[in-house]
Amino acid sequence: MGKIPALILGTVIGSIALCALTGAQSSPKRRTPALTTDDLSSAAGEVVRIPTENETQPSAGRDPEVVRGAIAWHRDLRRAIEVARAEGKLIVADVYTDWCGWCKEMDKKIYSDPAIVALSREQVFLKVNAEDGGQGQTFAAQMRVKGYPTTIILDGTGRVLNIAQGYIASPEAFGALVRAARDQSR
């Protein structure tokens, strides 16, 4: 019993000493916001305004249509709606930010899962950067996105079928979310 507290104390003292030697400072405490019912979007059933051609300029240095990886991600909302409408598919929009840790976890654990990759071939998967200063930011504001990641499922007309705010814990839960929206659209 005496070894564990001594080990923990030694680790803490070692970390403090290392910070002092390297000049590193401890990061300020970050407040983790708590979700309330006010955070839940009431956008379900609304129709997304389709951006005009002038509003669909891609971010500099990025391919406007597809991102590398197993899922062929669309980046342009207008084009994703056109494809979904023409092919009778849903749009599964992943609203993210570059700094969001849970967004990166979704990429690693959910979007790399073979079942979700297969699902992406049946629907139109869209990556939306909520801080791109353009179309993604406008879309996130229109959908009243308050946290990341947020998954928004739309039909081919831009009607919102389902919204899930936050990290989706398993590929099975993600698949169920998409299937429920698909069933609702019929």
pLDDT digits (tens, 9 = 90+) for 142-152: 999 999 999 99
Q: Which residues contact 168 (CB under 8 A, 6 or more apart)?
A: 106, 110, 151, 174, 177
- Calpha distance 35→166 (Å, rounded): 10
Lowest-pLDDT range, 7-21, 27-41, 94-108?
7-21
| Structural domain includes residue 111 | yes
| Structural domain includes residue 44 | yes
Domain that holds residue 93: 37-185
pLDDT of residue 65: 37
Is the pLDDT reported for residue 50 higher than 60? no
114-151 pLDDT tens trace: 999 999 999 999 999 999 999 999 999 999 999 999 99
Is the pLDDT reported for residue 82 higher than 80? yes
The tokens describing 19, both together, are 């910070």
| Structural domain includes residue 79 | yes
Mean pLDDT of the chain: 75
> Among residues of the chain, what percentage have pLDDT more than 70?
63
- Calpha distance 57→1 (Å, rounded): 63
Domain harbouring 162, CATH code: 3.40.30.10
Going by DSSP bridges, is the β-strand pair 150-154/160-165 parallel, antiparallel, or unpaired? Answer: antiparallel
| Structural domain includes residue 119 | yes
Of the candidates 98, 96, 170, 92, the one whose C-alpha atom is nearest the C-alpha of residue 128 is: 96
98-112 pLDDT tens trace: 999 999 999 999 999
- Calpha distance 90→125 (Å, rounded): 8
| Structural domains counted in the chain | 1
> Among residues of the chain, what percentage have pLDDT more than 90?
59
| Structural domain includes residue 5 | no
pLDDT of residue 114: 92
- Calpha distance 80→73 (Å, rounded): 9
| Structural domain includes residue 104 | yes
| Structural domain includes residue 29 | no
Of the candidates 21, 45, 49, the one whose C-alpha atom is nearest the C-alpha of residue 139 is: 49
| Structural domain includes residue 158 | yes
Note the helical H segments in the chain: 3-22, 77-87, 101-105, 114-120, 135-142, 171-185
34-49 pLDDT tens trace: 444 344 344 455 555 5
